[in-house]
Amino acid sequence: MGAHSSSVAIVLICSWLWIVGAATAPTGDLRQRLAVRKHLRRLNKPAVKSLKSPDGDIIDCVNIAHQPAFDHPFLRNHTIQLRPAFHPEGLYDKNNLASELSKEKPNSLTQLWHQIGRCPEGTIPIRRTRKEEVLRTSSVKRHGRKKRRTIPSPRFADPDLINESGHQHAIAYVEGDKYYGAKAIINVWEPNIQQTNEFSLSQLWILGGSFGQDLNSIEAGWLVSPDLYGDNNTRLFTYWTSDSYEATGCYNLLCSGFIQISSEIAMGATISPVSKYGRSQYDISILVWKDPKEGNWWMQFGSDYVMGYWPSFLFSYLADSASMVEWGGEVVNSEPDGRHTSTEMGSGHFPEEGFGKASYFRNIQIVDESNNLKSPKGIDLFTEQSNCYDVQNGNNGDWGSYFFFGGPGRSPSCQ
């Protein structure tokens, strides 16, 4: 074969390979489908037993050693800590037990899936993630993550930042010391969300670092998020980040990190019942604290359910202690130029309406360096726009340090 013939043959073969390659290369849609499928396989571990909740959720009972936490490379050979070495001192004294077991006790609440059954010992309940939930996010990588700039920052209350980020808060906070945990009893509601890309929550924040790219945060409370869950149900949630929501952390068990030990309570599952305006009130107790022996950050729900822990290596600043603690409400407002939707915070009513009408946090406490639970000193309040969402605090014998908070969003006083 001559040189010219060889060149032609090579060109034809290369063209044929290029055409075949182009035909078999995954398209953008196919790439996304494959990425979603892989993501769901990683999250939805094989179940020992599955329960269909009345709200449509599927709760998978997964072997405790097979949970998503252990996808983390640093946790491959981790020995699960089945209980904290220490609880905070004072957690089970008479005063705290009285507040836990009061008339509106947290244990009167349950999760809807409990109506169908429970998970066996040695497993943990994981809410199954659905394909449509992943597809609602901007990308598979961002699924289960908060948007950036979501921390209430009393130090940087810049109106332009408020309008740009859309996040608004009504909180109580303490700073200026070292904090090793926080506790609160949180009133549970089902606020109205106007737009599906908005949310409303009530939570506590354990914070370390600055409010820049190095922020460490552990968060827990209740949340209504149509975007994340596809409905308006009130759900228990946790969150963590070690780099200001950039690349680390997620809600619940939607990434590797938090190690759950409880077989009783499912992160992200619906809380029931919720408070009604002028009628019965319900609340949940949340405690997050740093085990002084092992250094891990633990979470307890109610007076009975130790949920699990965040290993200390996940964090930089929080590997030692927190420098700020916040309690309160947050909403996302999607309207531009300072206008507001009618997404509600808390009960959707202003704090001056009081018990039974406004939402509250009560018996708020911090954990000090000696692992003692105590009422915080020097509580400050913060809200970006008190005519939309407000906060008012107080102190008494039964409720200790408390505050009422919330608001209706768009209203005659808030445009």
Query: Catalytic amino acids?
Result: 219, 330
Q: Which amino acid is at 355?
A: F
Question: 223: which strand partners?
Answer: 201, 235
Give the position of tokens 């050693």: 65
Helices (H) and strands (E) in the chain, counts: 6, 20
Residue 110 · residue 118 · CB < 8 Å: no
CB of 328 closer than 8 Å to CB of 405:
yes
CA–CA gap between residue 316 and residue 182 (Å, rounded): 19
**Residue type (1 letter), 393:** N
Residue 117 CA to residue 113 CA, distance in Å, equals 7
